[in-house]
A and B are shown apart, each in its own frame.
Chain A
């Protein structure tokens, strides 16, 4: 059974940093691109970026809205996906989800609140 579980969310001050994690199980992690998506309360989701699979060299693509502030990485030995978020702003407040390549499986999400 495919499972994805995000962690690491919480309250952070504006200008701060936070790293989110996504634990994957039930599939061959290295075969899949992995996405990060966020969704502010009551609004549509926003794709943040993905990291490609082993066959495609684990390269990354980002939404220009977060490029340069957010970094996606993965630890293939631990089946973990990460999202490093820097210089956080109030508008980054959202629920953050990881999802597999074609958005077929999503985790339950972790909430990030950026506030002083």
Chain B
């Protein structure tokens, strides 16, 4: 199985900050990496697909980058509604695997 190591697990930041969240795969996943935002009691919402493609309707302050085994989600200027938990998902190889999550909290 491909292990997805996500960091940090917790992140405390302020409105307006630029933040980055990382996922490192245990082997090359060929850019088949999605990012999700999840708020309490809700299903995950796709933000980015295949590394750097912004989901329709998602604000442009969200962006993704990476290749090989290393991937990054960047939020350029945090807004109050961005405080949530974020997960990555690799869909290159079976079984598909998620990162362990990053909880983004207000400082």
| Closest-CB distance, B54 to chain A (whole angstroms) | 12
Segment 3-43 of B: residues with Cβ below 8 Å from A: 34, 36, 42-43
Q: Which of B96, B97, B101 has the most CB of A within 10 A?
A: B96
Q: A82-116: contact bitstring with B at CB < 8 Å (1 yes, 0 no)?
A: 00000000000000010000111011110000000
Task: Please name the residue on chain A nearest to B94 by beta carbon.
Answer: A61
Q: Which residues of A contact B49 (CB under 8 A)?
A: 102, 104
Report the interface size for chain A: residues with CB under 8 A from the other chain.
Answer: 18
Q: B66-107: contact bitstring with A at CB < 8 Å (1 yes, 0 no)?
A: 000000000000000000000101010011111111000000
- Tell me if A63 counts as interface (CB < 8 A to partner B): yes
Q: Of the candidates B34, B42, B99, which one forms a contact with A103 in the assembled complex, judged by CB atoms under 8 Å apart?
A: B34
Q: Which residues of A contact B55 (CB under 8 A)?
A: 104
Q: Which residues of A contact B94 (CB under 8 A)?
A: 61, 63
Contact status of A44 and B46, CB under 8 A, knowing A102-B91, A103-B91:
no
Q: Which residues of B contact A97 (CB under 8 A)?
A: 43-44
Q: Which residues of B contact A107 (CB under 8 A)?
A: 43
The answer to whether B100 touches A64 (Cβ under 8 A) is: no
Number of cross-chain contacts by CB at 8 Å: 46
Q: Please measure, in the bound complex, the distance between the C-alpha atom of A46 and the C-alpha atom of B99, giving whole angstroms.
A: 10
Q: A28-71: contact bitstring with B at CB < 8 Å (1 yes, 0 no)?
A: 00000000000000011111000000000000011111000000
The answer to whether A47 touches B96 (Cβ under 8 A) is: yes
A44-B87, A97-B44 known, 18 other contacts, Cβ within 8 Å: A43-B101, A44-B98, A44-B100, A44-B101, A45-B44, A45-B87, A45-B98, A46-B98, A47-B95, A47-B98, A63-B96, A64-B95, A65-B95, A102-B49, A103-B34, A103-B89, A106-B44, A107-B43
- Ordered by A's residue number, 27 sampled pairs between the chains whose C-beta atoms are within 8 Å are A43-B101, A44-B99, A45-B44, A45-B87, A45-B89, A45-B98, A46-B98, A47-B95, A47-B96, A47-B97, A61-B94, A63-B96, A64-B95, A65-B95, A97-B43, A102-B34, A102-B91, A103-B34, A103-B46, A103-B89, A104-B49, A104-B55, A106-B44, A106-B45, A107-B43, A108-B42, A108-B43
